[in-house]
Amino acid sequence: MNDPYDLDQNPSEQANQSANTDDVRSKTQIKNELKEITEFGVELASMGLSIIKKLPLDEEIVEAFEEIDTVKGNEAKKRHFKRIGKLLRERELDDVRIALERIKLGKPLSTSAEPSLRDLWFDKLINQNENPEAFISAFPNSDRQKLRQLIRNAKKDPSKHAGKLKQYISSVQ
């Protein structure tokens, strides 16, 4: 019945069987995929813990990378990397690989074009003529007089004073 050369079988059944065999991966393919994931874990470990913490990884995976320094002996490290590989297999790695490539290229991790809170407040205060009282109520530790002076100067000469206003907004937040 499973014989692909059986002429008594319905052609649609033969097509279903061949489709099912295409989806099946061999043990060797699975082992190679697992080995690649484990090697990816070794590569991540060589990057350093500071970079690993920047990547979109689960807390459990980050803790496993933190434990690497405490593991002594080659066989123990090998087992630990297999454990890390197992943890990495349980999650989608595309976003981690993209983030790692961005770090290698020296690009920032956040790809969103969303402006920062500082830029939003700067835009409100300068371009939208927002009342400084809204900023002061949002950040009560800000100095009203200094804020008004910086806004006034930034409106007069933006190239010279806009940076100072942005720096003040950042320091108050």
Kindly list the domain boundaries of the chain, sorted by start residue: 11-104, 117-172
Q: What is the 3-state secondary structure (H, E, C) of 127-142?
A: CCCCCHHHHHHHCCCC
Secondary structure of residue 75 in the 3-state scheme: helix
Q: Domain 11-104 - what CATH class? A: mainly alpha
Highest mean pLDDT among 68-77, 97-106, 153-162: 68-77
* Structure tokens that stand for 29 in this block: 């393919």
pTM of the predicted model over 0.75: no
- Dump pLDDT digits (tens) for 105-158: 777 666 554 557 777 888 888 877 778 888 888 888 888 899 899 989 988 888
Measured CA distances, 152 to 124, 127, 146, 164, 167 (Å): 14, 12, 10, 12, 15
